[in-house]
Amino acid sequence: MASTKTMPSAIARFQPEPVRQRQTSKPGVPVPRPSTKQGRRPKTFKIIDLFCGAGGMSLGFIDARFCGGFECVLAVDNDKAALATHRHNLGGKVVCDNIEDWLKNNPTIPRADVVIGGPPCQGFSLLNKKRAGDHRRALWEPYLDVVQRCGAKLFVMENVSELYRSEELSLIERYAKKRGFKTHAAILNTADYGAPQTRKRTVIVGWRAEEVSEPVFPPPQTHAAPNRETTLPAWRTVRETIGDLGKPIGTNIGTKPPYDLHFGRNPIPTSLARYRAVPPGGNRFDLQKNAPSLTPACWIKKTSGGTDLFGRLWWDRPSVTIRTEFFKPEKGRYLHPSEHRPITHREAARLMGFPDDFVFEGTKTEIARQIGNAVPPALAGALALVVRKVLDPRQPASSARKSTRKVTHLAPPLAT
C-alpha cells in the first residue's frame, strides 16, 4: 500500500483506558501502578526522543496528564540547557551532540518501541528566506536511521507546516518506505488538541505494517473553533490559561512556580510609550496611527503584511504561535492582552501547554528558546494516545479521560 497524505478532519475522539500513575520526587516523571481493572498491569512502552529540546513531546507521551504508559530511554539534542531540562523532568539517558556526529561514532542505541521528535525546522520555515540547500532540511535522514537501528515499530515526526507542501515530504515518505514503514502526514492545529495556541505543524506518523496495525490518523480532535457546529469544547483561550497570574515579579528567574518564570523587563520610556499606544487586539498599524512619532521608519514604509508585529494577544482567543523571542513584541503578537508589557516566560510556557511543575533549566534566553521550540504537550499527548492504542490494542475505550480535561496549573498565584 502506498504512503498516503491526509488532511485533518473531525473524528469522534478515541477514549483509551487511563494509565493510573503517581509522581516521583521529580516533577513530570510518572511511575506506573498496576491496573486494578481486569488484573492486568498496563504496559510501559519505550521511546527515543531525537532533537528533543526541553521535552515537550516526551512529556505528552510520558505524563499521565496527557497520555502516560511510556518511558524515555534516550534523548538526543545539541542544546545543553534543553537537555538539562529534559533530564530533570523526564529522566532517562541523554546525549548532547549533533545527531550526525553522534551516529558516526557507532553508538549503542537502545531498543525502543517508538521514535519521536522534530528535526530542526528552520530549513523549512517561512522565516528562513534562504531555504534551498539548508543542511537542516536533510536531518530527517539520521532520524530515520535511528528508527531503523533501534527496532521501533512506529515513529512520530513533527515539523513546520511548510514541510507538508515541500518536495521533502515525498523524499521522507520514500526513505521510510524503503525501511518497511508506511506513513500518513497531515497539518495539525495544536488548538484542536487542547493547547491554547493556534500553532500549525506537519506531523508524520510511520508504522511497520508487518508488526502493528494502521494508526488512527489524524488523531481525533478534542477541541474546536468556537464558530464550529460541534459538541466538542471550544478552543482554550489566553484568559483561561494565564488570567489567574498577578503582576510579574522582578526581572530575574525566581525560585517557586509559577512566579519563578513570571518576571518582567526594564523597558525604556520609548518602549513603554509604544506599548500604551497599542489598544486591545491592536498591532503596529495602531501604533502608527496613535503615535506616528514613535513608529520605526521601516514599519511606516511597509504598508502591508506583518499584522501580528507589535500586536496584543486577545483574551478570548488562543495565542498565536509562540516563538523563541516572545519577549520581544517587535517579533510578533506578544504584548499582554491588557497590561503594557510583553508576555513573561511563565505566560509563554503556559500558552505552550507546560504545567507549572515542569522545571526549565538555563538562562532566561535559553529557557525562552526551549519554550519557543517545543512541541505543545497536549498535541503530543493526542498523538501518544493513538500510538499507545496501536501498541496495546487490548486497552478498552474508557470515558475516564475526558476530552475536556486540561492541565491544572499547580501553584496558586501570589497575592498582589
What are the catalytic residues? 121
Residue (of 338, 360, 339, 333) closest to 349 by Cα position: 360
Residues 186, 5: Cα–Cα separation, whole Å: 6
Contact 410, 356 (CB under 8 A): yes
Query: Before 218, cis peptide (omega within 30)?
Result: yes
Name the grid cell of 119: 528535526
Helix (H) or strand (E) segment spanning residue 70: strand 70-77
Helices 345-352, 364-373: crossing angle, 10 deg rounding: 20
State whether the Cα torsion 178-183-185-189 is positive or negative.
negative
Helices 80-90, 364-373: crossing angle, 10 deg rounding: 70
- Strand pairing class (21-23; 181-189): unpaired
Please name every residue paired with 31 in a beta bridge, in sequence order, or none if there are none.
Answer: 22
CA 120 to chain centre: 13
